[in-house]
């Protein structure tokens, strides 16, 4: 290989105009590398979805008594061994619902708006149905994560639902 | 070079250049589709539909392979 043919001379040419030049082939190579990055990112999501251990505690946990939450009121809580905030809602119909208090759009805290039967995300005007957690309006892409609520002797218990496809 | 190839070059001198430009358009389109696949995979994985993550990964990999193979097979003298 002669001195003129060496690859580093192509990558670091003496002429400034040549060094600033990006050919279409170079641009296509860059696009191919970014495309490879997308594949890697997608692979990471797939690997995490299939290989990550499920450390969720599926046992019932007591939160408070019925009298602790007035009608239309809410109570924030954290499950044992977790740091994610949840919200327990006492609707005007006398029913209790528990959801993760993080909007599925950009993780803003969501709040129950009394009298509307809707949960509001004030950041980007997202709305969820209080009975199902489904998105009613706004940018959230997924429903809120719901917990199972049960009442025993006036005490309210919550637990994670069993994953069907784990 | 055969006379056939020479005749082809003379008949359509911009052909290789056009192939290169087309490749860039295809790569950009592939990239847009891959971004959408990534977004879909993430949303569905967070919603406990992990099988979507695998199928989107395979689709994204095929798009990547298509782009790389096309880039590899391009004539070397096209800038």
Per-residue model confidence as pLDDT tens digits over B23-54: 899 999 999 999 999 999 998 988 888 899 99
Which tokens go with A73? 């009121």
Q: Where does the pLDDT of residue A85 fall: very low under 50, low under 70, confident under 90, or very high at 90 and above? A: very high
**Is A130 within 8 Å of A40 (Cβ atoms)?**
no
Note the pLDDT of residue A123: 95
Average pLDDT estimate for A144-149: 93
**Is A163 within 8 Å of B48 (Cβ atoms)?**
yes
First-to-last C-alpha distance (Å) of chain B: 20
- Taking the CA of residue A135 and the nearest CA in chain B, the distance in Å comes to 13
Are A39 and B45 within 8 A, CB to CB? no
**Is B79 within 8 Å of A23 (Cβ atoms)?**
yes
Please tell me the distance from the alpha carbon of residue A29 to that of residue A23, in angstroms, as a whole number. Answer: 10
Q: Where does the pLDDT of residue A163 fall: very low under 50, low under 70, confident under 90, or very high at 90 and above? A: low
**Is A75 within 8 Å of A68 (Cβ atoms)?**
yes
Are A42 and B20 within 8 A, CB to CB? no
This model of the complex carries an ipTM of 0.85
Using alpha carbons, select from B40, B21, B39, B35 the residue that is nearest to residue B63. B35
Note the pLDDT of residue B6: 83
Chain B residue with Cα closest to A36: B64
User: How many Cβ pairs within 8 Å bridge chains A and B?
Assistant: 96
In a mutational test of the B interface, the residue from A27, A31, A106, A133 whose CB has the highest number of chain B CBs within 10 Å is: A31
Please tell me the distance from the alpha carbon of residue A105 to that of residue A141, in angstroms, as a whole number. Answer: 6
Are A39 and B35 within 8 A, CB to CB? no
Region of poorest pLDDT, from A58-72, A86-100, A126-140:
A58-72
Contacts of A165 in chain B (CB under 8 A): 48-51
% chain A with pLDDT above 90: 60
Mean pLDDT of chain A: 88
Residues 6+ apart with CB under 8 A from A140: A103, A104, A105, A121, A126, A128
- Taking the CA of residue A30 and the nearest CA in chain B, the distance in Å comes to 10
């Amino acid at each position: 290989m002669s001195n003129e043919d060496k690859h580093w001379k192509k990558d670091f040419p003496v002429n400034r105009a040549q060094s600033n030049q990006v050919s279409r082939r170079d641009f296509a190579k860059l696009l191919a590398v970014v495309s490879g990055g997308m594949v890697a990112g997608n692979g990471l999501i797939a690997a995490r979805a299939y290989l990550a251990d499920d450390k969720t505690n599926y046992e019932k946990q007591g939160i408070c008594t019925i009298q602790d939450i007035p009608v239309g009121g809410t109570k924030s809580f954290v499950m044992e061994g977790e740091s994610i905030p949840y919200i327990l809602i006492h609707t005007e119909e006398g029913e209790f619902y528990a959801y993760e208090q993080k909007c599925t759009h950009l993780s803003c805290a969501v709040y129950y708006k009394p009298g509307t039967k809707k949960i509001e995300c004030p950041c980007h005007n997202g709305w969820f149905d209080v009975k199902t957690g489904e998105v009613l309006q706004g940018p959230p892409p997924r429903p809120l994560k719901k917990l199972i609520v049960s009442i025993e002797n006036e005490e309210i218990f919550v637990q994670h639902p069993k994953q069907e496809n784990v | 070079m055969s006379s056939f190839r020479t005749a082809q070059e003379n008949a359509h001198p911009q052909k290789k250049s056009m192939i290169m430009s087309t490749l860039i358009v295809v790569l950009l389109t592939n990239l847009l589709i891959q971004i959408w696949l990534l977004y879909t995979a993430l949303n569905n994985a967070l919603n406990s539909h992990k099988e979507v993550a695998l199928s989107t990964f395979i689709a994204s990999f095929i798009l990547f392979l298509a782009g790389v193979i096309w880039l590899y097979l391009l004539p070397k003298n096209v800038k």
